[in-house]
Each structure stands twice: as C-alpha cells, then as structure tokens.
C-alpha cells in the first residue's frame, strides 16, 4: 500500500514563479464516497488513474497507475464530474524537499496552493518565504472539493 503524507498551504506573493517549470494538469473524479476518491489525470503527456483513501490527519492511502493517454483523455471528456480541475503545476525544490505549486484555472482561477509530501507526519520543514496559511486540515482545498464547490463560488451569497 502507498501512503501519501502531505501538507498544503496557500501561496503568497510572486517569489515562487521563477523557481520551477510548469506542467499543465487536467484531472477529474470518477467516484467520491466517504473520503475515498477515484481520479483520472493527464499531466503533460501522461495519463494516470489514482485511488485515494480517506484522509487521516495529513496522510491517506494512495495508489497511482500510469494509463494510456488516450484512455485518460476519453475518461476526462466523458465520465468525470464537472468542472474538471485545470491547473499548472510548478515543481520547486526547496531545502531538500519537492514543493508542488498549483496555479488553478477555469472555475478555480485565482487559487494558488503549494503542497509538500513528507516522509513522516511529524517531519519538521523550513517554509519558503512564499508560503502562507497552512490549509492541510481544511477540506475546502481538497481537489475533489473544488469540483463540488469551486473557488470562484466562495463568497457568493447562497
């Protein structure tokens, strides 16, 4: 079993922009129930199928498999919940760790998040200057939640 241990932060300022190349991501969800998700993703020219377990603190079970690009594209176009998650992911190495800064587009435009995967839930990290509030425990910032309630809808009176 794979385990993902991840912290998630809001990004502040522009200091991160020149630190890593960006790759276009499109992803969608085939199923979501009780915190368990089945996701399809195209990252650049590679397709993935990912199954994630319910989050326990900052960790969860994760299984990810490369699938044919044509299959991933077809699933995104015909089977996934809307809106799709569209973002540019910038991979930035900082103080020995890989940070992934996601700049969202489409229905989630304006949202910029940084994630860092850890080896231990108690791992100490030095935060880059462009890291803001820790939102690891806020489910609104989970990608599956951004499909159900996109960022651009936040603050709109219901």
Strand partners, 134: 9
- Spell out the residues 6+ positions from residue 158 whose beta carbon is closer than 8 angstroms to its own: none
Q: Is residue 106 part of a domain?
A: yes
Q: Is residue 90 part of a domain?
A: yes
Note if 25 is an active site residue: no
Q: Is residue 32 part of a domain?
A: yes
Cα distance from N-terminal residue to C-terminal residue, the chain: 41
- Domain with 91 in it: what CATH number? 2.40.320.10
Q: Is residue 77 part of a domain?
A: yes
Q: Tell me the residue range of the domain where 13 lies.
A: 2-153
* Residue 111 vs residue 2, higher pLDDT: 111
Mean pLDDT for the chain overall: 95
Categorise residue 150: left if φ over 0, alpha if ψ from -120 to 50, beta otherwise: beta
Q: Is residue 158 part of a domain?
A: no
1 confidence band (pLDDT: 50, 70, 90):
low
Q: Is residue 149 part of a domain?
A: yes
Counting the structural domains of the chain, the total is: 1
Task: Please return the burial class of 65, using the count of CB atoms within 10 Å of its CB with bins 0-12, 13-18 and 19+.
Answer: exposed
pLDDT of residue 157: 53
Q: How far apart are CA 132 and CA 13, in angstroms?
A: 9
Catalytic residue among 29, 65, 93, 149: 29
């Amino acid at each position: 079993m794979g385990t993902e241990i991840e912290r998630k932060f809001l990004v502040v300022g522009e200091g991160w922009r020149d630190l890593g190349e960006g790759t276009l991501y499109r992803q969608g969800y085939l199923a979501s129930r009780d915190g368990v998700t089945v996701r399809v993703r195209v990252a650049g020219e590679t397709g993935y199928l990912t199954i994630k377990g319910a989050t326990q603190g900052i960790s969860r079970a994760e299984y990810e498999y490369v699938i044919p690009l044509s299959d991933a594209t077809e699933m995104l176009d015909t089977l996934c919940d809307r809106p799709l998650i569209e973002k540019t992911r910038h991979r930035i190495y900082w103080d020995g760790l890989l940070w992934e800064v996601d700049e969202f587009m489409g229905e989630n435009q304006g949202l910029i998040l940084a994630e860092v995967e850890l080896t231990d839930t108690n791992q100490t990290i030095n935060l880059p200057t462009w890291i803001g509030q820790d939102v690891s425990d806020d489910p609104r910032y989970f990608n599956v939640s951004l499909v159900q309630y996109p960022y651009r809808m936040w603050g709109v009176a219901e």
